[in-house]
């Protein structure tokens, strides 16, 4: 088994505007980050090249207007190990992990390989919430892909009563017209504190472009930065939270995840006396579907202070899917792009909520009530495809 290191005491964080709340000197930054890197056994790239950058864990509240804010956390540049071992994949497809061998969940993860995030970036503390996305729509007039004429989204089928694996397999999700991020077909109110779902890769990028323009027009956007989806490498680096490579951000043991994430667990489906029927965590996390963002507080945040990276909802990233594995630099294709999503979701088995899990969705306009996103504030990504807006 891969050794699991004890997590050091959390470092103090600084709440600030971007450009404020920095250490008093480059030497102090270098000393602090070097100590952190040494504690984790990592080789962070620090020193003169990064003088003037914020300290790891510095936070910023982004004003979306209407009394709505969005918090981002600064993550310094650094090295990490991407991918998964054969041992990890065997666990994921075993009795506890519960994933199906040979599927698109574990096959394209690739073997462990060194990777580097060359530039620091700011990451959303949580996935974008319903309330934050609502604010975007109210101000911009944006119409999501699922809401366009002929649009649809994938939602839970309330008539589903099981997989019936020994006869005719019946899946619990189906395409629905008239459903969207406003109404994902839950059996409960879609509250503003939940992560927004039923939004496509196109919708996610439109949110980021709106926020970039809003902050630039207000004079709050630092030169050379933009709001966008994180690249796949940035996402996995952020998910691992500065730790050595492991199954989850806290280590290899599923049991240590209790109170940290929302996945398939011992929770009844709304109005029923049954749980999700496949492999599950052996505890109740309190939610059979979505839970509020940052619901688990400090215990649900990793070493970088980012919450809900494993489980919750799948998070779409900027890259297109390469079945051979994730790339250190952003990866795009011109024909039949399939955006990547990471992290697992509330319905998934434990083996599908690991840091290395990745899959490609069917198209840029596809949406699902298990899929959401979080934003990144960083340098523009070369080769990013152009997007088409439909705001007023």
What's the structural domain count of the chain?
Answer: 1
Q: What is the pTM of this model?
A: 0.86
* Measured torsion, CA atoms of residues 375, 376, 379, 380, in degrees rounded to the nearest 10: -20
| Any domain includes 19 | no
- What is the C-alpha to C-alpha distance for residues 206 and 337, in angstroms, rounded to an integer? 17
Strands 78-82 and 339-342: unpaired
| Any domain includes 391 | no
SS (HEC) of 172-235:
CEEEECCCECCECCCCCCCCCCCECCCCCHHHHHHHHHHHHHHHHHCCCCCCCCEEECCCHHHH
Residue 315's domain spans which residues?
29-378
CATH number at 282 reads 3.90.1580.10
| Any domain includes 268 | yes
| Any domain includes 46 | yes
| Any domain includes 106 | yes
- What is the C-alpha to C-alpha distance for residues 299 and 308, in angstroms, rounded to an integer? 10
Q: Which residues of the chain, if any, have pLDDT below 50?
A: 1-31, 33-49, 391-392
Confidence at residue 8, expressed as pLDDT on a 0 to 100 scale: 37
Confidence at residue 74, expressed as pLDDT on a 0 to 100 scale: 98
**pLDDT tens digit string along 270-321?**
888 889 888 899 999 999 999 999 999 999 999 999 999 999 999 999 999 9
| Any domain includes 389 | no
Strands of the sheet containing 68-75, edge to edge, are 59-65, 68-75, 121-124, 376-378, 226-228
| Any domain includes 20 | no
- What is the C-alpha to C-alpha distance for residues 194 and 72, in angstroms, rounded to an integer? 17
| Any domain includes 17 | no
Strands 371-373 and 314-320: parallel
Confidence at residue 105, expressed as pLDDT on a 0 to 100 scale: 67
């Amino acid at each position: 088994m891969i050794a699991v290191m004890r997590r050091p005491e959390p470092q103090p964080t600084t709440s600030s505007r971007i450009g404020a709340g920095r250490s008093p000197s480059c030497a102090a930054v270098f000393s602090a980050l070097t100590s952190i890197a040494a504690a984790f056994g990592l080789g962070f790239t620090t020193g003169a090249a990064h003088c003037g950058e914020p300290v790891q864990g510095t936070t910023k509240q982004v004003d979306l207007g209407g009394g709505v804010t969005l918090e981002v956390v600064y993550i310094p540049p650094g090295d990490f190990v991407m991918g998964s071992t054969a041992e990890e994949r065997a666990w994921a497809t075993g009795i506890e992990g519960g994933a199906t061998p040979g599927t698109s969940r574990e096959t394209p993860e690739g073997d462990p390989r060194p990777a580097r995030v060359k530039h620091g970036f700011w990451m959303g503390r949580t996935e974008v919430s319903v309330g934050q996305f609502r604010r975007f729509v109210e101000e911009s007039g944006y119409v999501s892909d699922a809401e366009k004429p002929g649009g649809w989204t994938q939602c839970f089928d309330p008539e589903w009563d099981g997989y019936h694996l020994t006869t005719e397999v019946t899946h619990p999700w189906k395409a629905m017209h008239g459903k969207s991020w406003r109404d994902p077909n839950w059996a409960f109110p879609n509250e503003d504190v939940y992560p927004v779902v039923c939004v496509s890769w196109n919708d996610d990028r439109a949110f980021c472009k709106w926020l970039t323009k809003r902050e630039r027009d207000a004079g709050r956007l630092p030169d050379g930065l933009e709001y966008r989806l994180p690249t796949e490498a940035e996402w996995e680096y952020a998910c691992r939270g500065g730790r050595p490579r492991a199954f989850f951000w806290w280590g290899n043991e599923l049991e240590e995840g209790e109170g940290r994430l929302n996945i398939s667990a011992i929770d009844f489906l709304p109005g029923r006396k049954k749980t999700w029927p496949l492999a599950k965590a052996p505890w109740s996390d309190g939610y059979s579907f979505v839970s509020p963002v940052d619901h688990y507080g400090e215990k649900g945040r990793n070493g970088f202070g980012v919450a809900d990276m494993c489980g919750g909802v799948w998070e779409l990233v900027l890259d297109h899917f390469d079945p051979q594995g994730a790339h250190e630099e952003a990866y795009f294709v011109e024909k039949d792009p399939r955006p990547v999503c990471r992290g697992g979701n509330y319905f998934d088995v434990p083996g599908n909520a690991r840091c290395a899990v990745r899959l490609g969705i069917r198209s840029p306009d596809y949406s699902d009530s298990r899929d959401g996103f979080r934003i990144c504030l960083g340098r523009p990504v070369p080769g990013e495809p152009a997007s088409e807006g439909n705001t007023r």
